Amino acid sequence: MGDLQPGTNWYIRTDQKYLQPKSTQQFADHNQQYVHQKLTKPRVDDHYEFMLEEIVQEVRAGRTNGPFRQPPSWPTTTIAPPGYDLTLLPLPRTEPKVAMAFSIKQTGSDGKDKIRRGEDWRRSGHNSTCIMHDQPFHHTPDHFASLVIQTHQTHPTADMHVWGHDHDGAYRQLPLDNPENAYVLLHTPQGPTLWSHNVLLFGSSASVWGYNRFGDAMVSVSRLFGKVGRAPLKAIYARAHGEVDRAWFFQGRLPKEILLQFSSNTAFVYLLEAWVALLAPLVFEPLLGDFYIQCCDNEAARHAIIK
């Protein structure tokens, strides 16, 4: 929810889809109407047993909480699903923000049917609370076809293999910042069940952005620790001129213990300039090559680094 931080070097969106978010009150009103409709016209999914079993396993793994009692405004009561040795828990919030669980039928790589649990964070109104100015970069089949063609032209006799991989659980590996806005409703023949998430959730736009930014960070870290020291870097401290066709940026935090040693204004500026000058070439080393120009407009930091 809210303004999501842009990713590094992602494509800038050209539409207005995520630039007119609902206000907090608009979202609350919309979600209340959405949930009321789902409760007054319940439909038990054909694969509710599979989804219920998955949710219970996530509760035991600490990824999900519940089952919870219904809030006072609901027209029906929730239940603890029978057969799982679970009891109804008091609801931490009087008006939870809820999305409906539903099954998704897919065909696996083995040609067999595969059932997955989805949650409708779009119709629930959750996705309409986000502000996003860019979108994650994803490779398409065209990218891989182009790679094969280029590889074949360069190495016409080489054997080429294509494979795929999938991160098990993907978003479910990362923690959720605010669980109070991430409740899920699952209908069963015995009655509705209410749960909440502790980790990122499928179907949420914010999960896509968060997971991809985490992936970018992991790739950068692997490059940093895998390639630093591969070749000596020749640093020239000067002001760069001319145009560039692409720019990168990063941000981070220093531990409090280090900052306390540079608490004066002058010392802090000195530390900041020196830290960035050292960290930037390490992070972007795979992109820089053996020669690069770096700006450093703090004389004390510049002399310290050169020394």
CA 10 to centroid of chain Cα atoms: 14
Work out the percent of the chain whose per-residue pLDDT is above 70: 72
Residue 10 has pLDDT above 60, yes or no: yes
On the question of pLDDT at 234 being above 60, the answer is no
Q: Using one digit for the tens of pLDDT, what is the confidence trace for 50-65?
A: 999 999 999 998 889 9
Give which of 91, 48, 63, 299 is closest to 190, Cα–Cα: 48
Strand partners, 153: none
C-alpha to C-alpha distance for 43 and 23, rounded to whole angstroms: 30
DSSP 3-state of 187: strand
Strand partners, 22: none
pLDDT attached to residue 207:
82
At 87-115, the pLDDT tens digits run 999 998 888 999 999 998 887 767 788 88
Domain ranges for the chain: 2-137+168-216, 229-306
CA distance readout (Å), 300 to 66, 113, 237, 262, 280:
57, 65, 13, 14, 18
What integer pLDDT is reported at residue 251 of this predicted model?
A: 57
Most confident of the following: 130-144, 175-189, 260-274: 175-189
Of 41-55, 67-81, 216-230, give the lowest mean pLDDT range.
216-230
Q: Which value, to the nearest 10 degrees, does the dihedral of the CA atoms of residues 71, 75, 81, 87 take?
A: 30
Q: Quick one: average pLDDT of 104-129?
A: 84
Burial class of residue 185 (count of CB atoms within 10 Å of its CB; 0-12, 13-18, 19+): buried
Give the closest residue to 182 by CA, choosing from 134, 105, 129.
Answer: 129
Please tell me the pTM assigned to this model. 0.64
